A and B are shown apart, each in its own frame.
Chain A
Amino acid sequence: MKKDSLFSFVVRHLSFLKHVPLFSHVFDSLLKFRVFLTKPYLLDWFDEIEAEVMQWEGTAVGLHRYGGIQFNRKGKEIGHLHSNGLLDVLYTKEIKVRLLKEGRVQPHHIFEKSGWISFYIFSPEDKNYAKELLKMAYDARKTTQ
């Protein structure tokens, strides 16, 4: 999985700035601006993913505290999408292990040992898979809640 070096640098070395009010949101806007200039089609895909999630019962979207759009089911987060196309989704450890074996997702870019996974969206197939990942997390949450 090809990483976004600007994003990785900020997350690894400037993460203390997340405590500055609005920093994460402004940084995400910088990513949006960059995507707008370089890969504007990604923005349409993000909208499509958001529209799909919003069709599922009990979902809502908001701003993620570390930048990006957050998807919730009944007030609980199921995942979030950063504006560089990095999708982070929360699963149980068992589902995470199964997904990692399938080889398309990676452990979370920071919390590697948690139930979170990370997945970069580059292609239309990735976009569809991102929807599947979110639906999987949504369904898993539905059965546990």
Chain B
Amino acid sequence: MLKGFAMSNLLALLMVGLIKYTIIPNDGTLVFSIFVIVPILMGIVSSWFWIKIELKSKALIGYSILNGLLAILLSYVFLGEGTICLLIVSPLIFIFIISGVFLGQSMFRKNNQRLNVSVCALLFVVFVVDSLSEHNYVNLVADEMVIKATPEQIWKNVVAFDKIEKKDDYWLFQIGMPSPSQTTVEGYYKGAGRKCIFSNGYTFDEKIVTYEPNKDLTFDIIGQPLDPEIMGHIDILRGQFLLKDNGNGTTTLTGNSWYRLHVFPVWYYDIWAKSITRNVHLRVMEHIKELSEKR
């Protein structure tokens, strides 16, 4: 029983270590194989040890979840990952370990060594090819909000604003993910420095690259905080606020953010990246709306 846990986690440590510390040139990107192929192989390896004791399905799934928790704990200790990151990654790990366990069970019941070796070799080849491939994913999240104020009344609140006092209503912010809190600016001109301060005190350093009063504020992110929740996983590249006068005393405020993901698969992590970015936008834009409509 314990061998199943030990050997599968040892395999995972070796494979992740292979990517992070050895032969494969890597810019810190966590490729899809780490979250898909490695857990499947972990499941297959543990199944090899567990099949002899003929566990029921319920026990197999329970032990797979336990195995996933162990892998997550090891990631926390050895890779220094943040707790919210690990919470986000855990469904992937659980599902793919369970897949691997039942795949392994089906393979080993057939007792066909050629099949067993072929499946494991194929998964390993996918792991190596994926690790050696270039990964580059940049995306934009855009949100709009109508504010009952003119662009002139809104503009000053877009460039900088005081502390947001409103309670967080996004569940990830409520459980500890830092939320945007305040923005300060060095001056009201192109090239001025800007700081976006988060609830835990971490700061994004920004530089204004487009300054068109009452229309367009675009800023590049020139310094990210060294927060384990985002470090090496996502780079926020650029932010933008666009104001459009609707001609009826209201203004459409558009918030855009560009980011680069360093964690794959995109079909999973981009859901989270979009959701988090959207909720950062909404918190800031709702604050701008409140300030501007108060007058």
Cross-chain contact B99 with A26 (CB below 8 angstroms): yes
User: Which residue numbers of B lie inside 8 Å of A, CB to CB?
Assistant: 40, 56-58, 61-62, 65, 94-96, 98-99, 102-103, 106, 109-110
Q: List A residues 1-35 near B (Cβ within 8 Å).
A: 22, 25-26, 29-30, 32-33
Cross-chain contact B56 with A44 (CB below 8 angstroms): yes
Cross-chain contact B58 with A44 (CB below 8 angstroms): yes
Most buried by B among A32, A61, A63: A32
Quick check: is A119 within 8 A (CB to CB) of the other chain? no
Q: Which residues of A contact B102 (CB under 8 A)?
A: 25, 29, 32, 63
The contact of B61 among A26, A43, A63, by CB within 8 Å, is A43
Cross-chain contact B106 with A62 (CB below 8 angstroms): yes
Give the distance in Å from the alpha carbon of A91 to the alpha carbon of B20 in the complex: 54
Quick check: is A102 within 8 A (CB to CB) of the other chain? no
Task: Please give the distance in Å from A43's CB to the nearest CB on chain B.
Answer: 4
Task: Please give the distance in Å from A19's CB to the nearest CB on chain B.
Answer: 15
Q: Which residues of B contact A40 (CB under 8 A)?
A: 58
* Chain A residue total in the interface (Cβ 8 A): 16
Quick check: is A57 within 8 A (CB to CB) of the other chain? no
Chain B at the A interface: SS class: helix
Q: Give the residue name and chain of the A residue nearest to B59 (CB).
A: A43
Q: Which residues of B contact A32 (CB under 8 A)?
A: 57, 61, 98, 102
Cross-chain contact A43 with B56 (CB below 8 angstroms): yes
Q: Give the residue name and chain of the A residue nearest to B110 (CB).
A: A62
Q: Which residues of A contact B103 (CB under 8 A)?
A: 22, 25, 63
Q: Which residues of B contact A47 (CB under 8 A)?
A: 56-58
Give the distance in Å from the alpha carbon of A32 to the alpha carbon of B94 in the complex: 11
Task: Please give the distance in Å from A133's CB to the nearest CB on chain B.
Answer: 20
Cross-chain contact B106 with A29 (CB below 8 angstroms): no
Task: Please give the distance in Å from B57's CB to the nearest CB on chain A.
Answer: 4
Q: Give the residue name and chain of the A residue nearest to B107 (CB).
A: A63
Q: Which residues of A contact B99 (CB under 8 A)?
A: 22, 25-26, 29
- Known pairs A43-B57, A47-B56; A33 contacts B62 (CB<8 A): no
Quick check: is A46 within 8 A (CB to CB) of the other chain? yes
Give the distance in Å from the alpha carbon of A62 to the alpha carbon of B56 in the complex: 16
Quick check: is A36 within 8 A (CB to CB) of the other chain? yes
Task: Please give the distance in Å from A69's CB to the nearest CB on chain B.
Answer: 9
